[in-house]
Structure 1
Amino acid sequence: MHVTDTLRLWCERWTERRLFARELDTLPDETLRDFGMTREIAYQHSHRPFWRA
């Protein structure tokens, strides 16, 4: 795997995680409960730096 492939992969993962984090912030509490999450845990996940995913 070349360096450019690695960078592209990191960029794609970062993009996916940011989109998921934005969605997580907008989910209703009932849906979060279905996932076994509280609003506080969802906030922590969505505001975590991408390198700590």
Structure 2
Amino acid sequence: MENKESLKKDMLKEIEIIQEIIKRMAFNSFMIKGWAIQVSRFTIGLMTMGTKI
């Protein structure tokens, strides 16, 4: 019985760790997408200006 409790606690801890990893990956993905949008807007802005720089 005690072994099952220990196994259950270990499984819950492992699931918590995996959830934290997924949260961190989702946040990083969100930040990268934001930066990519800004860089593309900047690049498109420079391209539309042509040789006016």
For normalisation by structure 2, the TM-score amounts to 0.49
Q: Whose relative contact order is higher, 1 or 2, with alpha carbons under 8 Å and at least 6 apart? A: 1
Of structures 1 and 2, the larger Rg is shown by 2
For normalisation by structure 1, the TM-score amounts to 0.49
